[in-house]
Amino acid sequence: GEDVEQSLFLSVREGDSSVINCTYTDSSSTYLYWYKQEPGAGLQLLTYIFSNMDMKQDQRLTVLLNKKDKHLSLRIADTQTGDSAIYFCAGGNTPLVFGKGTRLSVIA
Protein backbone atom coordinates (compact mmCIF):
# COMPACT_ATOMS: atom_id res chain seq x y z
CA GLY A 1 0.00 0.00 0.00
CA GLU A 2 0.85 3.67 -0.09
CA ASP A 3 3.41 5.10 2.31
CA VAL A 4 3.80 8.86 2.66
CA GLU A 5 6.75 10.47 4.43
CA GLN A 6 7.36 14.08 5.38
CA SER A 7 9.54 15.92 7.85
CA LEU A 8 7.89 16.86 11.15
CA PHE A 9 8.98 20.48 11.71
CA LEU A 10 9.83 23.60 9.73
CA SER A 11 10.54 27.07 11.06
CA VAL A 12 10.75 30.15 8.83
CA ARG A 13 10.79 33.91 9.22
CA GLU A 14 7.81 35.96 8.19
CA GLY A 15 8.15 37.06 4.58
CA ASP A 16 10.44 34.18 3.61
CA SER A 17 9.39 31.23 1.45
CA SER A 18 8.51 27.90 3.06
CA VAL A 19 9.10 24.60 1.31
CA ILE A 20 7.50 21.45 2.71
CA ASN A 21 8.61 18.17 1.18
CA CYS A 22 6.91 14.81 0.88
CA THR A 23 7.80 11.44 -0.62
CA TYR A 24 5.34 8.73 -1.54
CA THR A 25 5.52 5.15 -2.76
CA ASP A 26 2.36 4.50 -4.82
CA SER A 27 2.95 5.73 -8.35
CA SER A 28 -0.66 4.92 -9.29
CA SER A 29 -2.05 7.80 -7.19
CA THR A 30 -4.37 9.79 -9.43
CA TYR A 31 -4.17 12.92 -7.31
CA LEU A 32 -1.82 14.08 -4.58
CA TYR A 33 -3.05 16.50 -1.96
CA TRP A 34 -1.91 19.05 0.58
CA TYR A 35 -4.13 19.61 3.61
CA LYS A 36 -3.76 22.30 6.27
CA GLN A 37 -4.75 21.90 9.91
CA GLU A 38 -4.95 25.02 12.04
CA PRO A 39 -4.88 24.70 15.85
CA GLY A 40 -8.06 23.15 17.23
CA ALA A 41 -9.56 22.58 13.80
CA GLY A 42 -10.08 19.82 11.29
CA LEU A 43 -8.16 19.41 8.07
CA GLN A 44 -8.93 21.64 5.11
CA LEU A 45 -7.84 20.91 1.57
CA LEU A 46 -5.19 23.45 0.60
CA THR A 47 -4.45 22.32 -2.93
CA TYR A 48 -4.04 19.21 -5.02
CA ILE A 49 -2.22 18.19 -8.17
CA PHE A 50 -3.22 15.73 -10.84
CA SER A 51 -0.62 13.02 -11.32
CA ASN A 52 0.09 13.94 -14.95
CA MET A 53 1.10 17.49 -13.99
CA ASP A 54 4.55 18.68 -12.93
CA MET A 55 3.56 21.94 -11.33
CA LYS A 56 0.52 23.79 -10.11
CA GLN A 57 0.44 27.39 -8.94
CA ASP A 58 -2.33 28.98 -6.92
CA GLN A 59 -1.61 32.50 -5.64
CA ARG A 60 1.16 32.08 -2.99
CA LEU A 61 1.17 28.30 -3.29
CA THR A 62 3.29 26.27 -5.73
CA VAL A 63 3.10 22.50 -5.87
CA LEU A 64 5.89 20.59 -7.62
CA LEU A 65 5.59 16.92 -8.51
CA ASN A 66 8.57 14.80 -9.50
CA LYS A 67 7.06 11.50 -10.54
CA LYS A 68 10.40 9.83 -11.22
CA ASP A 69 11.56 10.41 -7.65
CA LYS A 70 8.02 10.21 -6.18
CA HIS A 71 8.59 13.57 -4.54
CA LEU A 72 5.99 16.25 -3.88
CA SER A 73 6.66 19.70 -2.50
CA LEU A 74 4.60 22.66 -1.37
CA ARG A 75 6.11 26.13 -1.56
CA ILE A 76 4.45 29.01 0.26
CA ALA A 77 5.71 32.39 -0.90
CA ASP A 78 5.83 35.38 1.46
CA THR A 79 4.98 33.23 4.47
CA GLN A 80 2.74 34.94 7.02
CA THR A 81 2.05 34.20 10.68
CA GLY A 82 -1.39 32.98 9.62
CA ASP A 83 0.32 30.19 7.72
CA SER A 84 1.44 28.60 11.00
CA ALA A 85 -0.25 25.21 11.00
CA ILE A 86 0.32 21.52 10.37
CA TYR A 87 0.53 20.58 6.70
CA PHE A 88 -0.29 17.05 5.58
CA CYS A 89 0.66 15.43 2.33
CA ALA A 90 -1.77 12.72 1.18
CA GLY A 91 -1.85 10.25 -1.66
CA GLY A 92 -2.93 6.84 -2.78
CA ASN A 93 -6.23 5.92 -4.28
CA THR A 94 -9.25 5.77 -2.00
CA PRO A 95 -8.86 5.63 0.92
CA LEU A 96 -6.20 8.32 1.15
CA VAL A 97 -2.99 7.77 3.10
CA PHE A 98 -1.63 10.74 5.02
CA GLY A 99 1.89 11.64 6.04
CA LYS A 100 2.67 12.43 9.67
CA GLY A 101 2.31 16.16 9.06
CA THR A 102 4.82 19.02 9.03
CA ARG A 103 4.37 21.65 11.71
CA LEU A 104 5.20 25.04 10.20
CA SER A 105 6.16 27.75 12.66
CA VAL A 106 6.42 31.30 11.35
CA ILE A 107 8.62 33.68 13.31
CA ALA A 108 7.63 37.34 13.20
Partner 1 sequence: DADVTQTPRNRITKTGKRIMLECSQTKGHDRMYWYRQDPGLGLRLIYYSFDVKDINKGEISDGYSVSRQAQAKFSLSLESAIPNQTALYFCATSDFRGTGTGELFFGEGSRLTVL
Nearest distance in Å: CB 28, partner 1: 13
92 by DSSP, 3-state: which?
coil
Nearest distance in Å: CB 16, partner 1: 25
Q: Which residues in the 10-69 window bind partner 1 by CB under 8 A?
A: 30-31, 33, 35, 41-45, 48
Of the candidate spans 17-25, 54-62, 64-72, 85-93, the one that interacts with partner 1 by CB under 8 A turns out to be: 85-93
Nearest distance in Å: CB 95, partner 1: 5
Residue type, 101: G
Residue 74, number of CB atoms within 10 A of its CB: 23
Work out the burial of residue 29: count CB atoms within 10 Å of its CB; fewer than 13 is exposed, 13-18 middle, 19 or more buried. buried
